[in-house]
Structure 1
Amino acid sequence: MKKRIRQCFGKAAASYSDAASVQRIVAKNCAVLCPQGSYGRVLDIGSGVGFLHDELKKHINCAQYVSLDLVQPMLLEQLGRGVMLVAADGEDLPFADESFDMLVSSSAMQWYGAPEKSIPQSFRVLKSGGKFAIAVFTDGTLRELADVSARTGFGSVQQLRSCSFYEDIFSNIPELNVSFGSEEHEQFFPSVKHFLKKHKQTGAVASSENISWGKGKYRRFVEEYEKLYRGGSGIKASYRVFFAYGEKL
Structure 2
Amino acid sequence: MKAVESDFLNTVPVPERQRVAASFSRCASSYDSHAGVQQRVAEDLLSKITLSPRESLLDIGCGTGRHTYALARSGATVHGLDIAPGMIAYAAQRYPDLTFHQGQAEALPFASQSFDQLFSSMALQWCQSPQTVMHEMQRVLKKGGRASLAIMVDGSFEELDRARRVAGMAVTTNPQASYSQWCDAAATAGFTLTEAKLVAYVDAHPDLLSLLRSIKHTGAGVTTAEGARLSRQDLKKLSMTYQSLHGENNSLPLTYNIAQLIVEK
| Displaced runs of 4 or more, over 6 A | none
Q: Summarize the Cα distance change of 1:46–1:230 in structure 2 as closer, same or farther, 3 Å threshold.
A: same
Q: Distance in 2 between matches of 1:175 and 1:137?
A: 20
Residue matched to 1:76:
89
- Kindly indicate whether the alpha-carbon contact (under 8 Å) linking 1:155 and 1:212 is maintained by their aligned counterparts in 2: no
Q: Distance in 1 between matches of 2:151 and 2:191?
A: 21
- Kindly indicate whether the alpha-carbon contact (under 8 Å) linking 1:46 and 1:109 is maintained by their aligned counterparts in 2: yes
Question: Is residue 191 of structure 1 aligned with residue 210 of structure 2?
Answer: no
Question: Is residue 103 of structure 1 aligned with residue 109 of structure 2?
Answer: no
Q: Deviations over 1:18-44 (max 9, x none)?
A: 111111111111112222433432111
Question: Is residue 159 of structure 1 aligned with residue 172 of structure 2?
Answer: no
- Kindly indicate whether the alpha-carbon contact (under 8 Å) linking 2:58 and 2:119 is maintained by their aligned counterparts in 1: yes
* Unaligned stretches of 5+ residues in structure 1: none
* Unaligned stretches of 5+ residues in structure 2: 1-15
User: Percent identity over the alignment?
Assistant: 24
SS in 1 for 2:223: coil
Q: Summarize the Cα distance change of 1:184–1:177 in structure 2 as closer, same or farther, 3 Å threshold.
A: closer
Residue matched to 1:217:
234
CA drift of 1:172 comes to: 2.1
Q: Distance in 2 between matches of 1:183 and 1:149?
A: 24
Residue matched to 1:61:
75
Q: Deviations over 1:208-230 (max 9, x none)?
A: 54213233322211111111111
Q: Deviations over 1:139-182 (max 9, x none)?
A: 22111111122333166111222211111111222253532122
The RMSD of aligned alpha carbons is: 1.9
Residue matched to 2:190:
174
More divergent stretch after superposition (168-177 vs 202-211): 168-177
SS in 2 for 1:182: strand
Residue matched to 1:17:
32
More strand by share: 1
SS in 1 for 2:44: helix
CA drift of 1:233 comes to: 5.3
SS in 2 for 1:231: coil
The alignment's TM-score, normalised by the length of structure 2, stands at 0.86
CA drift of 1:107 comes to: 0.4
Q: Distance in 1 between matches of 2:191 and 2:42?
A: 25
SS in 2 for 1:204: coil
The alignment's TM-score, normalised by the length of structure 1, stands at 0.91
Question: Is residue 132 of structure 1 aligned with residue 147 of structure 2?
Answer: yes
Aligned residues: 246
Q: Distance in 1 between matches of 2:191 and 2:152?
A: 25
Letter in 2 for 1:178: T
